[in-house]
A and B are shown apart, each in its own frame.
Chain A
Amino acid sequence: MVPTKTAMDIGSRARHFDKIQSIIEEYGATESALIPILQKVQAEYRYLPEEILTFVATALQLPPATVYGVATFYAQFSLEPKGKYVVRVCDGTACHVRKNAALIAALKKRLGLADGETTTEDMRFTLEIVSCIGACALAPAIVIDGKVHGQMTAEKAIKALDELEAAEKEEK
């Protein structure tokens, strides 16, 4: 089950639940508004929790299976909770032959992820292994928080994560 901690760092849930209703009101409770509504919800929670999808289905008077179908069809939607920062390691052929395996192992170690785990305890990082991101010239490549980093080594990747965390602390 989805842990309750997921939304903790993004503030009180009451407010977020409130937002769902206002999102629905903003786009209108009609079938054609489903995708924009889900996009907004995804932006809000960084994933689409099952209960929220059921709520959206209720409000739009659609079968939950239809909403689930749409939510699983588009790659932009995720039904699993994701960390604040998403780290994507490319596993396309070019990156694979450039030994990205060591890179993945180092990242997992840095983030303290056990086998099968993708998101850190504190919901800050999610590690994803993806197929070719079209940056083969830069192989091995990773994407951190939407930015492509090429010719990665384990050291460079860890440094990038450290910098990200440092910047975050400064903001606070």
Chain B
Amino acid sequence: MGYITIDGVKTPINDKKNLLEVIRESGVDLPTFCYNSELSVYGACRMCIVEIEGRGLQAACSTPPEDGMVVKINTPATMRIRRMALELLLSNHHGNCQTCDKNMHCRLQELADRLGVKTVRFEESRELLPVETTNQSIVRDPNKCILCGDCVRMCKEIQGIGVLDFAGRGSNVQVTPAFGKELKEVECVFCGQCASVCPTGALTIKNKVDEVWKAIHNPDKMVVVQIAPAVRAAIALEYGITDGEHAMSKTVTALRRIGFDKVYDTSFTADLCTVEEATEFLGRVAEGKRLPHFTSCCPAWVKLCEQLYPNYLNNLSTCKSPQQMFGSLVKKLLSERHNIDRKNIYLVSVMPCTAKKFEAERPEFSVDGNPDVDAVLSSQELIRMIDQSGVKLTELPLDSLDLPFGFKTGAGIIFGASGGVAEAVLRLAAAKDETDNQIIEFKEVRGLEGVKEASVNLDGTTIKLAVISGLANVQRVMDKLQKGEVYYDIIEVMACRGGCIGGGGQPLPNDMAAREIRKDVLYNCDAMQPLHNAANNPYVKEAYATLLQKPNSAVAHKLLHTSYHSRRRITGEQVQLSRTESKKKLCVAVCVGTNCYLKGSYDTLQKLSALAQEAGLADRLDFKATFCFERCKKSPNVKVGETIHGEVTPDTAETFFRETVIPALEGRETVATEA
């Protein structure tokens, strides 16, 4: 153990990984932009500059602490450099602060104020770039980017995707998706973790608050809201309320004052989801089919699976997520019970999540063009809306949620934390009978760890399960699974580390420390409920008795289940392989998208074109390489004329050429001569 002298104070190193951490531990909040303790060190912003005796000026974030170091934090040189760096950033920053989404929550504002920057001596030099607002989840304003790279490292290191990266050089450097495309054109899953770490207004959550106000002000609309499990934990932490039940009660009062007609709990459909999913899973175990079973409540994971793991789409639970089950079931029931057109029910959901905004707009989740969920607000937007209304949440009296869709068991609440879905399903499966309502705790699956494993004995069968959060962790486990190095019967996946308590829609800071507190809030809420097994929720039972018949029945399938399809990762053009395009030629397009490529489609392409040469048909065929037909399950895919053929492997290419390509060519010519 060693010591460092910081401004004359002897400070223990205590295993801190860099000098910056030692300094912060000693009670000095050394400013930083590009440092995030949960990501790798980048060392570019120069805010953390200090003077080290014998070594001169150094960036504290990238300096390993050494015993005996003598460090000065505020010297004329360090202060000048910090200010200068900040001024340079400000000169390149489109600072329309008052109207910026991050106003009052921006690190650039905060540090400019703290360091006392009053004038900017450099002129604004960059031309304004367009702001990207075309996806449902995230707004990207490159003019506010300070190039700290936090989002780049978040997406690459923690989510394992790498949607954003630095591009260009010199004064034209930008952080952007590939080829300057928009997020919706690339493999972004809209988890929002990048926006959670962006220190400025460059990446923010798409704001729907105004739309919701509009619905509230519309006298024809019945405006209903569902609140997701993890939101109560966010509200508790944000407003300094110790328990989640209290936080929820006050939120109910606030939402009623704002003008919502009904306030419900998404935990209700989390219970319903547990019943449906446990039935589905146990059925698969009995049949030994479609295992491992993957949970599907996280839309970011679902989108990733659609892009990367088409072969596992059949293994995803067909259950809609609790948000979408709520939308589909409750809109139907309310319109029947109150005898109003479903178009006049406006359903808002409050979610910890930005990907839920994307999910709500998936075309399959609507009836005759009317969406099951009309607007998704993140926890951040809920807090904004409460602020806008002027209501002082902490001073409000308590109120209770509306019945029946406000009633839940503790199992529904823990859905908001990683391990919660697995535990809810296990509780149900392990319960002896209806009256058994103890909390059966599955401690192994709780906590913020990225990969958790457990084995559970259910009536003599051993169930192996894995609980994963963070998409880089997911990809690591998927690799092993595909190689046959591991096996599980059920895998719970959440895109965000720690689960939805750390969702991209949660208030800032959204770091692991905040997630730890939110997690405890949820498990405490669970402990406070009278019921802990989802199957015992009386209103879930009522829903089965009056409408759904029994778990996984035909009606349940129609209302509560869905299907998935493969999705391309990036938009793009075909690569034209032959010299000219001609109407007379037959087009043979071979997919070289990721999934097909990995299955050898490139060799298929080579084989087919060699066969064409041999047969002397090269000039009558038009070879193309394309990216993803969104039929990746059947990869490698080849499109001949207008028809896509699956599973054309290098081995079957010859048969395929003989039996499909040549007849297609002949068929085409017959048609052509006849016409």
Instruction: Write the nearest CB–CB distance from A8 to chain B, whole angstroms.
Output: 7
Closest A residue by C-beta to B579: A12
A51 touches B574 (CB 8 A): yes
B401 within 8 A of A: no
Point out the residues of chain B lying under 8 angstroms from A4, CB to CB.
576, 581
Q: How far is the CA of A55 from the CA of B575 in the complex (A)?
A: 10
Point out the residues of chain A lying under 8 angstroms from B577, CB to CB.
13-14, 17
Q: How far is the CA of A13 from the CA of B609 in the complex (A)?
A: 12
Given the interface pairs A54-B627, A65-B163, the reply to whether A72 lies near B579 with Cβ below 8 Å is no
Closest B residue by C-beta to A11: B579
Closest B residue by C-beta to A55: B592
Residue interface mask B163-176, A partner, CB < 8 A = 1: 11111110000001
B178 touches A68 (CB 8 A): yes
Q: How far is the CA of A58 from the CA of B568 in the complex (A)?
A: 12
Q: How far is the CA of A119 from the CA of B250 in the complex (A)?
A: 65
A72 touches B576 (CB 8 A): no
B572 within 8 A of A: yes
Residue interface mask B403-434, A partner, CB < 8 A = 1: 00000000000000000000000000000000
Closest B residue by C-beta to A52: B575
B167 touches A17 (CB 8 A): no
B578 touches A65 (CB 8 A): no
Q: How far is the CA of A69 from the CA of B167 in the complex (A)?
A: 4
A59 within 8 A of B: yes
B169 touches A50 (CB 8 A): no
B623 within 8 A of A: yes
Q: How far is the CA of A63 from the CA of B152 in the complex (A)?
A: 12
Instruction: Write the nearest CB–CB distance from B546 to chain A, whole angstroms.
Output: 49
A166 within 8 A of B: no
Of A21, A52, A57, A63, which one neighbours B163 at CB under 8 angstroms? Answer: A63
Q: How far is the CA of A49 from the CA of B627 in the complex (A)?
A: 14
A1 within 8 A of B: yes
Q: How far is the CA of A1 from the CA of B573 in the complex (A)?
A: 9
B579 touches A64 (CB 8 A): no
B602 touches A21 (CB 8 A): yes
A168 within 8 A of B: no
A95 within 8 A of B: no
Q: How far is the CA of A16 from the CA of B164 in the complex (A)?
A: 29
Q: How far is the CA of A65 from the CA of B156 in the complex (A)?
A: 10
Residue interface mask B555-595, A partner, CB < 8 A = 1: 00000000000000110111111110100000000001110
Point out the residues of chain A lying under 8 angstroms from B602, CB to CB.
21
Point out the residues of chain B lying under 8 angstroms from A58, CB to CB.
592-594, 597
Of B166, B179, B573, B623, which one neighbours A64 at CB under 8 angstroms? Answer: B179
A30 within 8 A of B: no
B161 within 8 A of A: yes
B138 within 8 A of A: no
A142 within 8 A of B: no
Given the interface pairs A13-B578, A63-B178, the reply to whether A54 lies near B165 with Cβ below 8 Å is no
Instruction: Write the nearest CB–CB distance from A125 to chain B, whole angstroms.
Output: 22
Instruction: Write the nearest CB–CB distance from B479 to chain A, whole angstroms.
Output: 11
A67 within 8 A of B: yes
How many chain A residues touch B (CB < 8 A): the figure is 32
Give the interface centre of B163, B177, B625 by most chain A CB atoms within 10 Å.
Answer: B625
Q: How far is the CA of A151 from the CA of B165 in the complex (A)?
A: 43
A73 touches B168 (CB 8 A): yes
Closest B residue by C-beta to A73: B169
Q: How far is the CA of A170 from the CA of B421 in the complex (A)?
A: 76
Given the interface pairs A13-B578, A52-B575, the reply to whether A65 lies near B609 with Cβ below 8 Å is no
Point out the residues of chain B lying under 8 angstroms from A66, CB to CB.
162, 165
Instruction: Write the nearest CB–CB distance from B588 to chain A, whole angstroms.
Output: 11
A14 touches B609 (CB 8 A): yes
**Chain A, 27-77, CB within 8 A of any chain B CB:** 49-55, 57-59, 62-69, 72-75
Give the interface centre of A1, A49, A54, A62 by most chain B CB atoms within 10 Å.
Answer: A54
B169 touches A75 (CB 8 A): yes
Instruction: Write the nearest CB–CB distance from A132 to chain B, whole angstroms.
Output: 14
Instruction: Write the nearest CB–CB distance from B590 to chain A, whole angstroms.
Output: 10
A65 touches B592 (CB 8 A): no
A155 within 8 A of B: no
B572 touches A13 (CB 8 A): no
A18 within 8 A of B: yes
A54 touches B572 (CB 8 A): yes
Point out the residues of chain A lying under 8 angstroms from B597, CB to CB.
58-59
A50 touches B625 (CB 8 A): no
B606 within 8 A of A: yes
Given the interface pairs A13-B577, A54-B627, A58-B594, the reply to whether A72 lies near B178 with Cβ below 8 Å is no
Of A52, A59, A65, which one neighbours B162 at CB under 8 angstroms? Answer: A65
A54 touches B570 (CB 8 A): yes
A17 touches B625 (CB 8 A): yes
Point out the residues of chain B lying under 8 angstroms from A17, CB to CB.
575, 577, 625
A18 touches B570 (CB 8 A): no
**Chain B, 613-640, CB within 8 A of any chain A CB:** 623, 625, 627
Q: How far is the CA of A57 from the CA of B166 in the complex (A)?
A: 16
B517 within 8 A of A: no
B665 within 8 A of A: no
Residue interface mask A94-114, B partner, CB < 8 A = 1: 000000000000000000000
Q: How far is the CA of A152 from the CA of B165 in the complex (A)?
A: 42
A65 touches B176 (CB 8 A): yes
Residue interface mask B504-521, A partner, CB < 8 A = 1: 000000000000000000
30 CB-based A-B contacts, threshold 8 Å: A4-B581, A12-B578, A13-B576, A14-B579, A14-B623, A21-B602, A50-B179, A51-B573, A51-B574, A51-B625, A53-B179, A55-B575, A58-B592, A58-B593, A58-B594, A63-B156, A63-B161, A63-B163, A63-B187, A64-B178, A64-B179, A64-B187, A65-B162, A65-B178, A65-B186, A68-B165, A68-B178, A72-B169, A73-B168, A74-B169
4 new A-B pairs (CB below 8 Å) besides A8-B579, A54-B572?
A: A13-B579, A21-B606, A50-B573, A63-B161
Pick the 8 closest A-B CB pairs, nearest first. A63-B162, A64-B178, A65-B165, A69-B165, A65-B178, A68-B178, A14-B577, A72-B167
Interface residues of B (CB under 8 A from A): 156, 161-169, 176-179, 186-187, 569-570, 572-579, 581, 592-594, 597, 602, 606, 609, 623, 625, 627
